A and B are shown apart, each in its own frame.
Chain A
């Protein structure tokens, strides 16, 4: 086994060394130009995609070379268990990726730590490990794709396709990667057998069947997306009409704040509604949204935005360090380190802050202000009971802070005058989940505010409602609902719940898996409306038909009794995607009387 590992390692070692050198040079070039540790997530996503592609190409090339019939026979026909041969090859591939991917990343990080005043935290080492993990996942994906039967070769791609949609970060994301790696490793080992033409059997069959069913579901979803493109091209898609219909969510999304208030108040029974409508036409209406759907958390791998701000007067750049819990500064002129910046002197921040407007530093549930004159950071407000900030707006003398449960209105004048915490003026509870909130429009009244909530986000996929609600909050903070109207979407229930009725189980499972190991984020919280009965009936009908068709198909296959029962149950529970997977993974049994049309593909 060790001999195979060493031989395979030598096979690609020079390529790995060249790749490592090239990657190191590229990373060093960019490190000279920008701070690679403070880039937004999009940059890391591109790098991760390249690493995944690298790994996938290695896996495809390595196993593709062995997959040829004679090469495969020579590789496996030896007095070694197949899984041991597979482990030796995979260990060699992983070691090569370690050289090609991880070493240059760590070397670049070490250079930044030792040779620059820039911040490098432990989380950045985690980021390097995650990059390596992505490459290994790509590698195992390529290897598995080459070894499973041709008709199912795309199934392992599901993990790479869905991983970017996971909400996990930090060690949670690395743990998620480890789970995916374990699944792909098990799948590769199960597929690593002399007869490459047949799917893994027994319990190992689940390793291929599950991702294959999800892939089929994704294909159905893509077909739905194709239908939507045709709909758009036809010009009748509700979001692409020449003018949005009155009373539609699209119109509400695009409207000016004053127009939206006027429309919303039209059906209000409040005595002052006519007056407010007149006032809305001439008043300034402030609009804000969920500007921070994902709040920074300790030791996250990436940055939604760079965790740094510049003190323009003193030409100092302050970069937040997760390890220290404080900002670390260096002069922009000569790159000399000038010290640390904590709360009220030198204390750790309670949560990683996101630099905001006018020296505000937005934490998870606190708001701090940086005073450039005194070079101090002072706490200005703190939300109660674990509420998480989801957006702020600082217009004139009013500071609006949106949390995942309420809208807070503050008098912003003390911000530049004193250092005392801001006192809450008004608190308005949200009428729904933050993930469904598209916009908040605020109009000042003589004795309070009129606040409109547009709850239309995720209405297209059944994850959110579609309505506008207007409340009045008086100077004493009393809140009164004055209007609510349902907004039409124009999609229709079959389109809206398409991902659900195609397979309720997969839709719900993937929705839950996105949150695995993930911290709570306000932008991810949704409140789906109930599904219409006809959508439920359609899903049930499809599952029943899938069960019936599966029962007919498995009788003509080589599956044993337990395999047949398992596939039928899967088709009954999962629906059409499972039936499609069954047809692909388990072809009809070869028979001496078989017609050519029913013949399975050759291995």
Chain B
């Protein structure tokens, strides 16, 4: 792949806030096209990454490029090629929908009115309504319509459905997935909602404590995580010796193991540990990602 084939490239990117490293030596190459989901626990560095990529924060070390341009040197024209929607859907509450739309139409040369109408058609929004009169879901839809109609090459959605109810969330995802706008641009979708990721993402990027922990299609990642239930007498094997362990629980006398990158040989491990019966089963994306992220989650030290 050439440089222009990547919409996002970071090399050894690090960002320090005081004594904490938000990003550590991140090497990330996001190819052009498709919908890429970025997930990670709170504090994993997602927002920091976006702020650096859009030039709003300088890196401590390393460099970042977006659409081939050094992120600290973006021009107004570059910004016109990058759409951004965040969870607050910050829009001027005192202005009407039609006034904001008209302003965007004048501002963006690739404005697609038909696409705007198509996306906004998923919501009951009147042109004369003020933004402050819109519900949170309608505001999210309006914001998405504005972002898509700008005709961006890259659209960054930073937890766009946060705080939306089920209906509004579904409307938002449908508007994103079934409009033509998202076909022509690369979408970076950041969310904690795995059901959404499962529906929209072609590529799953997991950030963990500022580092790239996974980049693959979601189904490939799910295939790496397996769930095992074993009847092991007594305490079972020492968790430190369990290969690929993400989670372990003991329920009703049975040991439940969530493990990463383990094939059938894991059954042999359990048998060697004294397991009398063993069952394995696949897991959903939600369980897989949550288990993966919870692996290194901070916990209070034992008293």
Identify the A interface with B (CB < 8 A): 3-4, 7, 10-11, 69-74, 76-81, 194-195, 197-198, 590-592, 594-596, 599-600, 602-603
Contact = CB atoms under 8 A, between A and B. Distances in A.
A592 B14 contact: yes
Contacts of B76: 78-81
A10 B61 contact: no
Given A74-B90, A195-B58, A7 B79 contact: no
Interface of B: 14, 16-19, 21, 51, 54-58, 60-61, 76-77, 79-80, 82, 84, 86-88, 90-92, 94-95, 99, 102-103, 106-108
A562 B124 CA distance: 58
Contacts of B61: 592
B88 A71 contact: yes
A61 to B, nearest CB: 14
- Name which of B54, B76, B103 has the most chain A CB atoms within 10 A of its CB: B76
B19 A7 contact: no
Given A197-B57, A595-B19, A79 B80 contact: yes
A74 B84 contact: yes
A79 B107 CA distance: 7
Contacts of B19: 594-596, 599
A7 B99 CA distance: 9
A602 B17 contact: yes
Contacts, number: 82
Nearest to B86: A70
Contacts of A11: 92, 94
A76 B87 CA distance: 17
A73 B107 contact: no
B90 A71 contact: yes
Contacts of A69: 51, 56
6 contacts: A76-B56, A78-B76, A79-B107, A79-B108, A198-B58, A591-B60
A592 B88 CA distance: 32
A593 to B, nearest CB: 10
A7 B95 contact: yes
Contacts of A7: 92, 94-95, 99, 103
B56 A195 contact: yes
A70 B90 contact: yes
Contacts of A595: 19
A603 to B, nearest CB: 7
Contacts of B21: 592
B62 to A, nearest CB: 10
A92 to B, nearest CB: 12
Contacts of B79: 77-79
Given A7-B99, A590-B60, A602-B18, A77 B94 contact: no
Contact of A77 (B18, B60, B84, B87): B84
A76 B56 CA distance: 9
Nearest to A593: B16
A72 to B, nearest CB: 7
A80 B104 CA distance: 12
B235 to A, nearest CB: 40
B84 A73 contact: yes
Contact of A194 (B14, B16, B18, B54): B54
A590 B56 contact: no
A599 B16 CA distance: 9
A294 B223 CA distance: 88
A4 B80 CA distance: 16
Contacts of A72: 56
Contacts of B16: 590-592, 594, 599
> Which 5 A-B residue pairings sit nearest by Cβ, starting from the closest?
A79-B80, A596-B19, A599-B18, A3-B103, A590-B60
A4 B92 CA distance: 10
A92 B108 CA distance: 22
A596 B16 CA distance: 10
Given A70-B86, A594-B19, A599-B18, A10 B95 contact: yes
A79 B84 contact: no
Contacts of A76: 56
A152 B282 CA distance: 56
A73 B52 CA distance: 11
Given A78-B79, A590-B16, A596-B19, A73 B57 contact: no
Given A70-B88, A73-B84, A599-B18, 10 more contacts: A4-B103, A7-B95, A78-B79, A79-B107, A80-B76, A592-B14, A600-B18, A602-B17, A602-B18, A603-B57
A79 B86 CA distance: 18
A194 B103 contact: no
Contacts of A71: 88, 90
Contact of A3 (B18, B57, B58, B106): B106
Contacts of B54: 73, 77, 194
A433 B51 CA distance: 61
Contacts of B108: 79
Contacts of B57: 195, 197, 603
B107 A3 contact: yes
A122 B209 CA distance: 67
B80 A78 contact: yes
A78 B56 contact: no
Contacts of A4: 103
A71 B88 CA distance: 8
A600 B19 CA distance: 10
A424 to B, nearest CB: 71
Contacts of B88: 70-71
Nearest to A66: B90
Contacts of A74: 84, 86, 90-91
Contacts of B80: 78-79
Contacts of B58: 195, 197-198
